[in-house]
Amino acid sequence: MYQKPSTKFPFINRQILRRLYLVALVILATLVAIWWEQVQTPKSMTVTSLTQPEEVLVGEPIQPIPVKIALNQSKVALGEKLFHEPRLSADNRVSCLSCHNLSKGGADEQAFSIGVNGAVGDINTPTVYNAGFNSRLNWNGKFETLEAFTEAVIQNPTVMGIHWQVLIPKLQQAPEYMQAFTQNYADGVTTANVKDAIATYLRSLYTPNSRFDQYLRRNKKAMTDAEKQGYRLFKAYGCVSCHQGMNLGGNLYQKVGLMGDYFRDRGNVTNADLGRYNVTQDEADKFVFRVPSLRNVALTSPYFHDGSVKTLEEAIKVMTKYQLGRSLSQKDTQLIAQFLGTLTGEHPALNQK
C-alpha cells in the first residue's frame, strides 16, 4: 500500500544548532579582527616593529596591543597639557580629564558625567584608553577619527560648551601655548592644530602588556588556570563574536537586546537609548550601539551606555541574557570576570589605581 513520504525534517537538536552558530560567529569575528588590524592604524600612529618577530598564539580572535607605538612626543606633550586644561571649557572649570580620569580607567566612575555649568550628560562616558584602536568613536559610532571626536566634545554644550572663535584667542593669549604651538606647527595656534595635538595625545593612551597580552605572546604563566578557563568560557559562550580584535571590541555595531527586550525590562526609554539611529535615522539602527572595548574593563564601572550596572559580574549576566540568550552559573560568571581582570594593561596613570 502506497504511503505518502513524510515532509517533516528530521529533528535537529537546538543546542547543536546554537553551538554551530556560535562557532560560525567566532570564525567570522576572527576574520574581521585580522582584516581590521591591517587597516585601522591611523597615519599619525606607527606601530614599532620589534627586533625579533613576535611569537603569538595562532588562531586566536584577539591580538595583543603593541608594546610600543611611534608618535611625535613633542605633540604628545602639548596634547597632554591641553587634555588637562580647563580653559578649553566655556566656564574655565571643565577639562578633558574631568570626565576621563586616567587614574580611574580613563572614565569617571559616574553613570553620567558633569560638564560645563553643571550640565549632566545623557550617556555614560567611555574610556579614552586605547581609543586610537577603535574603528568608530562614541556609543553611536558617529565619529570616525579622534580629531572629529575632539571637535565635537569641545563644542558640545553639555561637555565643554565653547566655540572655536572664543577658544583660539584664549589660547593665543597664553604665552606658554603660543610657544608650544609655534614649536610644533608652522602656523601656530589654529583649530586644526588643537585637534591634532589632543588626538595625538589620545593615541598615546594605549595600555600594552596586560597579563592576557603576555599570555597571547606565549607566556603560559601570565594567567592562572581559573583565568584561562574564563577565557575558554568567554569564547565558548560566544562573547568573543563581538568582543574580538586588538581592543576586544570597538570595531562592530550590535543591537542591544538580540535575545530579549532589554529596554522594555529596564523601562524609561530615552533618546540616547536609540543609539546609532540618532546618526543614521534608519529604523534598523534603533537600539544599535558600537560594541565597547573590554580593555581595562575591570576599572571602568558603571557599565553599558546607560551606566546602569555597577559590577562586572552583573554586567556579564546581563549581556549573556540579552545578547546570547543564556543563563550563566555563578561559577562561570566569576571565571569570566577573572579573565576580564587580566585585560588591565600598563600605563603610568593606571598604576595609580
Q: Is 180 in the same domain as 49?
A: no
Whole-number pLDDT of residue 350: 86
Q: Is 195 exposed, middle or buried (0-12, 13-18, 19+ CB in 10 A)?
A: buried
Tracing cell 584667542 back to the chain, one arrives at 169
Whole-number pLDDT of residue 296: 98
pLDDT at residue 5 tops 60: no
Domain-ending residue, one of 164, 179, 203? 203
Per the domain annotation, does 275 fall within a domain? no
Q: Is 82 in the same domain as 196?
A: yes
pLDDT at residue 251 tops 80: yes
- What phi and psi values does residue 177 have, to the nearest 5 degrees? -80, -40
Once rounded to an integer, what is the mean pLDDT over residues 249-260? 96
Q: Is 211 in the same domain as 347?
A: yes
Per the domain annotation, does 84 fall within a domain? yes
Q: Is 50 in the same domain as 163?
A: no
Q: Which three-class secondary structure state does DSSP give residue 47?
A: strand
Q: Is 84 in the same domain as 177?
A: yes
Q: Is 23 exposed, middle or buried (0-12, 13-18, 19+ CB in 10 A)?
A: middle
Domain-ending residue, one of 171, 203, 235? 203
Per the domain annotation, does 277 fall within a domain? no
Q: Is 152 in the same domain as 224?
A: no
Per the domain annotation, does 167 fall within a domain? yes
What is the rounded CA–CA span in Å between residue 3 and residue 304? Answer: 58
* Residue 118 near residue 191 (C-beta atoms within 8 A): no
Whole-number pLDDT of residue 264: 97
Distances (CA, A) of 280 to 45, 114, 249, 285: 29, 27, 21, 7
pLDDT in tens, 320-340: 999 999 999 999 999 999 999
Whole-number pLDDT of residue 351: 74
What is the rounded CA–CA span in Å between residue 273 and residue 95? Answer: 26
Q: Which three-class secondary structure state does DSSP give residue 103?
A: helix
What is the rounded CA–CA span in Å between residue 135 and residue 149? Answer: 12
Per the domain annotation, does 260 fall within a domain? no
Q: Is 195 in the same domain as 211?
A: no
What is the rounded CA–CA span in Å between residue 87 and residue 336? Answer: 42
Distances (CA, A) of 189 to 11, 79, 149, 321: 70, 12, 19, 50
Sorting pLDDT into bands at 50, 70 and 90, what band is 349?
Answer: confident
Q: Is 215 in the same domain as 121?
A: no
Domain-ending residue, one of 140, 174, 203? 203
- What phi and psi values does residue 56 have, to the nearest 5 degrees? -120, 160
Per the domain annotation, does 327 fall within a domain? yes
pLDDT in tens, 164-190: 999 999 999 999 999 999 999 999 999
The single-letter code of the amino acid at 229 is: Q
For the CA atoms of 84, 85, 88, 93, the dihedral, rounded to the nearest 10 degrees, stands at 100
Q: Is 309 in the same domain as 328?
A: yes
- Per DSSP (E only), the strands in 250-344 are 253-255, 288-290
**Which of 37-51, 168-182, 220-234 shows the lowest mean pLDDT across its residues?**
37-51
The single-letter code of the amino acid at 27 is: I
pLDDT in tens, 48-59: 434 345 788 888
Q: How many CB atoms lie within 10 A of CB 118?
A: 10
Tracing cell 601570565 back to the chain, one arrives at 222
117-121, long-range: CB < 8 A, 24+ apart: 117/90, 117/91, 117/161, 119/157, 119/158, 119/159, 119/161, 120/158, 121/158, 121/159
More confident residue, 33 or 352: 352
What is the rounded CA–CA span in Å between residue 140 and residue 272? Answer: 9
Q: Is 83 in the same domain as 158?
A: yes
pLDDT in tens, 126-170: 999 999 999 999 999 999 999 999 999 999 999 999 999 999 999
3-state secondary structure labels for all residues of 25-46: HHHHHHHHHHHHHHHCCCCCCE
| Closest C-alpha to 313, from 325, 300, 327, 330 | 330
Per-state percent for the chain, helix, strand, coil, to nearest 5 = 45, 5, 50
Per the domain annotation, does 263 fall within a domain? no
Per the domain annotation, does 213 fall within a domain? yes
Omega of the bond prior to 302 within 30 degrees of 0, cis? yes
Q: Is 244 in the same domain as 306?
A: yes
pLDDT at residue 78 tops 70: yes
CATH code at position 342: 1.10.760.10
Number of domains the chain is built from:
2
| Closest C-alpha to 128, from 242, 296, 316 | 296
CA gyration radius for the chain? 22
Q: Is 174 in the same domain as 211?
A: no
Structural domain harbouring 149: 72-203
* Residue 63 near residue 216 (C-beta atoms within 8 A): yes
